[in-house]
Structure 1
């Protein structure tokens, strides 16, 4: 994986949390970070006048504060900033063409494990050609700074494997790389559809799917021999199986099918549910 980790930074608590996560990820993967702020797409609650000059000044201050904090934490971090006038979604998608990943903040409820995704985030997540990660404010799976480590029980990278074939390869590459960088266990999740009766055929199907999943994992286990792997095959709705499997997740990886048109974007039901309900950063990885 090459290219920078690009962070959409608007000054909100969620985007700051996203920058913390991105910096740690970049250090672990030996990648540079780009902090990007669109001064024409600032949060509605920013307490500044609407003149362009003040918006640009606010943007520079946001970038300077975040840069100083991240470089103080990670002295060896290669970091640059960009203040742009283009709409945030357009600027992020343009840089996604050469980025290793995009990282976006998403406001989170204090008492409910849920994402509040705005139109910009959904648009970017549905169109980006590179993996994109959504990080919610106050996420316990994110190291928040000195004396505020990530929750100790968040020790697994979880990847949803809807179809153990070619479509799963980009997801597994991303997930194994993330697990190796963290020294974390990888949990590969496969959901089987519910049937009206529990029969011997159901047991045979589950055994066959375990074999298929093991075959899909085999080349990546060989490439990443130090990553411990758990195969998680369960019967039930894919979204519920993935949500249950992510209890110990420090990162959950889901897929999104690529679209031929840049004017059409869509997140599948599993990706959409994961982004709204899984209580850890969620990576959406495009695949063919």
Structure 2
């Protein structure tokens, strides 16, 4: 069975940017595209959204129009649109289970209150078992924070569509627990794009750095050399598996989230891991680095769930 690339729709510019990004990703991977919209009855949901259109009517119209537009832009792409009923985070997590990855718009308020707001997107990222890519919308060279002026579907397809960079794939790894799932996703993403892969490992220096104790420059150089050696060892099997991928290993002293967000300028994709927390299985967390990158990185960000580390017997 061929699994699709899935995108959650709510009609915002960010959501439409995610749909266009997901269509391009499906073409790159040779996979079908599935559009998913969620509708959940809420008190006062009978109030009209715009004119006389009701939320339920809207949830049917927009996915169908978006599917037609994407078929026009990407001839030959197999596009399906499904309208599902239920709480959006649950609907999206279920859809992700049967997908190669799930794409979501990262910001924006939609006509259906509560769908794909920041809290819903974050809840989906925290709970899903599959990679989730969050895509920002950009308009007219603006900063892309919300993109309220874009139209949902129709038109010439330019308004609200992300102009993500076509540069390298950026992969952030934690050398204490690199995570095979995250590394695999980063190498595969670079391979399908024929793009270079920048692998970044950042860490905060110990307290004694910068306080005049010993040779700080020498300590920094030694720390970076050790990290570079560890990175080479962690990436060696993946270099063999993906020999065509050009890899740059970049150990650096600094806040990991800041390094990754800065590297995202002009990048095609930034990939980070999300480690499961077995101590609190009912309360999944995104992690502070992934959370910060999602909020500050200009490029699409893929959050890849990692298996929890084995517990001691």
| Counterparts of residues 1-288 of structure 1 (less than 5 Å) | 3-40=3-40, 46-47=49-50, 54-107=54-107, 118-138=118-138, 154-163=166-175, 165=177, 167-195=178-206, 196-197=208-209, 198=216, 200-260=218-278, 263-288=282-307
Alignment partners' CA distance in 1, 2:29 and 2:80:
17
Q: Cα 1:286–1:160, aligned 2, differ >3 Å: closer, same or farther?
A: same
Asked if the contact 2:35/2:82 (under 8 Å) is kept, the reply is: yes
Is the Cα–Cα contact under 8 Å of residues 164 and 212 in structure 1 kept in the other structure? no
**Alpha-carbon distance change, 205 to 33 in structure 1, aligned in 2, over 3 angstroms:** same
Q: What CA distance in whole angstroms lies between the structure 2 residues aligned with 1:152 and 1:134?
A: 12
SS at match of 2:243: coil
Where does structure 2 lack aligned partners over 5 or more consecutive residues?
109-115, 142-155, 210-215, 308-313
What TM-score do you get using the length of structure 2 for normalisation? 0.79
CA-atom RMSD, angstroms? Answer: 3.1
Return the index of the structure with the highest Cα Rg: 2
- Which structure has more strand as a fraction of its residues? 1
Deviation >3 Å, runs of 4+: 41-46, 148-154, 199-202, 259-263
1:119-146 CA-to-partner distances (Å, cap 9, x unmatched) read: 1101001111000011111288xxx968
What number of residue pairs does the alignment pair up?
276
TM-score (norm 1): 0.85
Q: Secondary structure at the match of 1:93?
A: helix
Return 5+ residue gaps in structure 1 as ranges. 109-115
The secondary structure found in structure 1 opposite 2:106 is strand
